Amino acid sequence: MSHDRQAGLFPRPAIDRPPRHADWVWAVAIMAGIFAAYLLLADGSTLFDRDEPRFARSAVEMVRSGDYLVPHFEDELRPDKPILIYWLMSVSIHLFGVTTLAVRLPSVLMTALAALVTFWIGRRLYGPRTGLLAMVVLAASPLMMLDGGAAISDPLLLFTLTLSFAVALVGLERGFSWPLTVGLGFTLGLGQLAKGPVALAVVGLGVLAAIWLMPRPAASAGDGGEGEDAPATGYDRRDRRRQALRVLAAGGISVLIFLAWAVPANIATGGEFAREGLGRHVFERMVSPQEGHGAADVFGYLALLPFYLLVIAIGFLPWVLMLPATARALWQNRLGGSGHRAFLAGWFLPTFIMMSLVATKLPHYVLPVWPALAIAVAAMVRLDRSGQVSDGDWTWLRRTAWVTTPAGLLAPIGLIVLVWGAGYGGWFDREGQPWSHLAVEMAPPLTIMATILMLLTVGAAWLLRRGELRSVAAVMLAAMAAMLVVLATWALPVFDTFKAAPPIARTIEQRGEPYSTDAPMAAFGYNDPTLRFYADRREPIELLGSIEAVQAWLDEPEPGVLVGDREALMPALVGAEQRGFETAMPREGPSLTSRSGNPWITMAVIFRLPPDATPDTRHGIDQALDELAPAPAPTPRR
């Protein structure tokens, strides 16, 4: 397949100026801005949920043990994800220590690099201004903000997959030479080292779909329509077969790269890595919901098939307003030629369909299509610059606004009423679950964010009526930037004050040696992986299963730290009348944990003293009981 034969497959529409070298200066500057913004976001809170601390703690254990072949969590094999994210986190930990920002730094960097590759693809397809706009559209969306600075493998996967599609674009334009085939295999190998076979499925199916969607020479000959491919610039049967075989060859190369790590890792674990990593965490996720993320019955499965439409509607805010009109323009080949349509549709459709069919449902599963959506939306906005937005496009934009405008007003109003009602009306408070206290503190920043969303909705609707699509995009960017600042500097720090694990770790650290480092640690009625990261023990935390086990642990002679539910620990304390305890309350009132059921828990820390402790450092059981007595339930602010 000659370069001349393929030169007309991706004609650049007249919606942008010609590329210049200075465009890369702007792109790098915007990438630096995205990096700084996501760094602010990453530094605005401690680790969330279960996945972040598990990734982070596994990387710490990798550094401490010197075993860079397989990840472990609390000295147990963690086969959930491949090795690449742990390697990157290990480098950051070596450079900056065991901190929240250190373990999130690789994800922030990958997000910024994914934006830069998105610029390159948008620039190649449509021109530099479209590429620059696509960068910020990608970064200024809620799902990207949620995952882009998190200590998980998805930002790394996003970067590797976007890089793979960049290489694939060159291959689709010029034909997959062997150097391009090897390059695609290398980037796909990185993707598999980031998150396993899903990377091969997303890119492999996407590029094969793009090849199949490419125009045929006979179909495009003689059309002569605007944006259509010229004669003899499509893919004939032989072209498709050759291109598909090269893509399959690239997939084979990527598998070899993946196996170069996976085979030794599997041998070192006696086959456990393959059984767990591929068996349970890949194939079982496809056919049955894991960890409650999905429906177990057929009717629930069918009901969840549109799940990712809802994810796009919320996670791609506010740009979802432009998606229907953008899809229409792309289908009509007014956002470039048939090659543009084939490439972007191939990037989006297979992944969206595949993830919709998978039984386990999580929002970030469709994050790999975000750059394609960002590029398409940016191209639509740039189309407005040359006055090429058709009357039909404006009709679809306004029809979409009929849905998004009421939603963009009612949802924020509902959020304001909900959070203030929960805070000052105690709507969701139950015994042991004082949601009102969290709602009271979160009400001001959430109200500000809701107000920004309402102003954005009103401003976008008004500008659409005036036919100013570029102004709509500018308002959207400004609003999302303001939301990010409020989220990073206000909402997340306030929410952080209610978490259990970080104040427990600070309390232990303030107690000093040996409790802050080497003393054994146990937990009762509380099992949160976040504590394992922030307490940073060199030995695993022992989980005690009964009050008898707690009593036996307290009777041991060496110094130690016990963490648990204050009320659950009371019987053991009452039975230990002959022993003194150093006790502490990391936080007054209940704290939030990642456990299911009742996530609220009132924490207590007990420092087990050695037998030779002096009276000055020991406290009687009466004082221990006083400090651990259940505090009266605080009343919501009125």
Please spell the DSSP secondary structure of 66-115, one letter per residue: ---SS-EETTEE--SS-SHHHHHHHHHHHHH-S-HHHHHHHHHHHHHHHH
Rounded CA-CA distance 451/486 in Å is: 12
**Pick from 397, 393, 378: which is nearest to 465 by CA?**
397
What DSSP character marks residue 224?
A: -
Contact 308, 366 (CB under 8 A): yes
Can you tell me the mean pLDDT for 224-229? 40
Predicted local distance difference test score (pLDDT) of residue 630: 46
At residue 288, the pLDDT reads: 66
Give residue 574's pLDDT: 60
Closest CA to 264 of 369, 193, 367, 360: 193
Confidence of residue 621 (pLDDT cuts 50, 70, 90): very low
Residue 97 predicted with pLDDT over 70: yes
Whether residue 450 has pLDDT greater than 70: yes
Closest residue by Cα to residue 177 from 124, 247, 234, 237 = 247
pLDDT for 596: 63
Whether the predicted pLDDT of 437 surpasses 50? yes
Distance CA 225, CA 231 (A): 12
Write down the residue that tokens 């499509």 correspond to.
234
Confidence of residue 115 (pLDDT cuts 50, 70, 90): very high
Task: Reply yes or no on whether the pLDDT at 222 is more than 60.
Answer: no
Return the residue matching tokens 């034909």: 175
Cα atoms found within 13 Å of the Cα of residue 8, Cβ hemisphere only: 17
Residues whose CB falls within 8 Å of the CB of residue 563, separated by 6 or more in sequence, listed in order: 504, 521, 522, 523, 524, 526, 531, 603, 604, 605, 606
- When pLDDT is averaged across residues 335-363 and rounded to a whole number, the result is 93
Residue 277: pLDDT above 80?
A: no
Q: What pLDDT is stored for residue 612 in this prediction? A: 64
Give the Å distances, CA to CA, from 82 to 44, 154, 189, 396: 28, 12, 11, 43
Please give the share of the chain, as a percent, with pLDDT higher than 70.
Answer: 87
Average of per-residue pLDDT values in the chain:
88
List the alpha helices (DSSP H) in 175-236. Answer: 178-195, 197-213, 217-220
Distances (CA, A) of 607 to 501, 503, 612, 614: 16, 15, 14, 14
Least confident of 166-175, 346-355, 421-430, 545-554: 545-554
Range in 65-74, 487-496, 532-541, 607-616 the model is least confident about? 607-616
What would the mean pLDDT of 376-401 be, rounded to a whole number?
93
Q: Rounded mean pLDDT of 66-94? A: 94
Q: How far apart are CA 584 and CA 565, in angstroms?
A: 12
Q: In the structure, what pLDDT confidence band is assigned to residue 11 with cuts at 50, 70 and 90?
A: confident
Give per-residue pLDDT as tens, 568-600.
877 766 655 456 667 788 888 889 887 766 788
DSSP β-bridge partners for residue 327: none
- The domain limits of the chain are 21-389, 405-496, 501-628
Q: What is the pLDDT of residue 548?
A: 86
- State the average pLDDT over residues 380-393: 90
Min mean pLDDT across 201-215, 230-244, 558-572 is at 230-244
Residue range 408-417: average pLDDT? Answer: 96
Mean pLDDT, rounded, for 541-553: 89
Least confident residue range of 102-106, 286-290, 319-323, 392-396: 286-290
In this structure, the strands spanning 603-608 and 600-601 are unpaired
β-partners of residue 600 are: 592
Task: State mean pLDDT over 97-104.
Answer: 97
Structure tokens at 126: 């449509």
Paired residues of 543 in beta bridges: 523
**Mean pLDDT of the 142-164 span:** 97
In this structure, which amino acid lies at residue 491?
A
Place of tokens 């009306």: 425
Tokens of 123: 């620039």
Q: In angstroms, rounded to a whole number, what is the distance separating the alpha carbons of residues 40 and 63?
A: 26
pTM: predicted TM-score of the whole model, two decimal places: 0.92
Nearest to 378 by CA among 26, 140, 172: 140
CA 441 – CA 419 distance, rounded (Å): 10
Q: How far apart are CA 565 and CA 543, in angstroms?
A: 13
Please tell me the predicted confidence (pLDDT) of residue 197. Answer: 92
* Least confident stretch, 123-132, 163-172, 382-391, 411-420: 382-391
Q: Using pLDDT thresholds of 50, 70 and 90, give the confidence band for residue 221.
A: very low
d(CA 95, CA 372) in angstroms, rounded, equals: 34
Query: What amino acid is encoded at 434 in this protein?
Result: P
